[in-house]
Amino acid sequence: QLPTMKMLLLLISLLSTALPARAAPPTCYSRVLSLSKEITESFKELQNSKTVDSCVETLPRLYLDIHNYCVLAKLRDFVAYPGCDRVVEVNELKEKARSLYTILISYCRRDLVFLTDDCNALEIPISPPLEHS
């Protein structure tokens, strides 16, 4: 009986190492957090791009903090902004912002906790601290 148990344990351990590890499915919070970071980075890249239309300079700032209740108004304003409709990158960014807004108010409405409602904080992004070597 003991050799059978050892074989069974060996088989289980081999199978568990042979099968690919599956990551946990994304939570609402992790999805919203990653999408907000993606949108913020895309916006920075768009503003820094020299090949994009000059109307990009007139777009509302798009620094997102999903812990700030004002992010909902910020997303609405950005999506509704009438300028730059001819710029493909802006339309793609507006689609991502619309998706984030929908996720926030529909799918994750009960899962998120807003820690602040300081709308000014979304106008002036906090710079990350400089790392010293």
pLDDT in tens, the chain (133 residues): 566 767 777 766 665 555 555 555 568 888 899 999 999 999 999 888 877 778 888 888 888 988 899 999 999 999 999 878 888 889 999 999 999 999 998 888 777 778 888 888 887 655 544 444 4
92: in domain: yes
50: in domain: yes
32: in domain: yes
Q: Please report the pLDDT score of residue 74 as a whole number.
A: 92
Q: Please report the pLDDT score of residue 126 as a whole number.
A: 55
Q: Please report the pLDDT score of residue 102 as a whole number.
A: 93
Q: Please report the pLDDT score of residue 93 as a whole number.
A: 93
Q: Please report the pLDDT score of residue 2 as a whole number.
A: 61
**20 phi, psi to nearest 5 deg:** -65, 140
132: in domain: no
The pTM (predicted TM-score) of the whole model is 0.71
- State the residue range of the domain holding 116: 24-122
Q: Please report the pLDDT score of residue 130 as a whole number.
A: 47
CA trace torsion 115, 106, 62, 113 (10° rounding)? 10
10: in domain: no
46: in domain: yes
Task: Give the 3-state secondary structure of residue 68.
Answer: strand
Total domains in the fold of the chain:
1
- CA–CA distances in Å: residue 74 to residues 5, 8, 14, 114: 61, 57, 51, 14
85: in domain: yes
Q: Please report the pLDDT score of residue 97 as a whole number.
A: 95
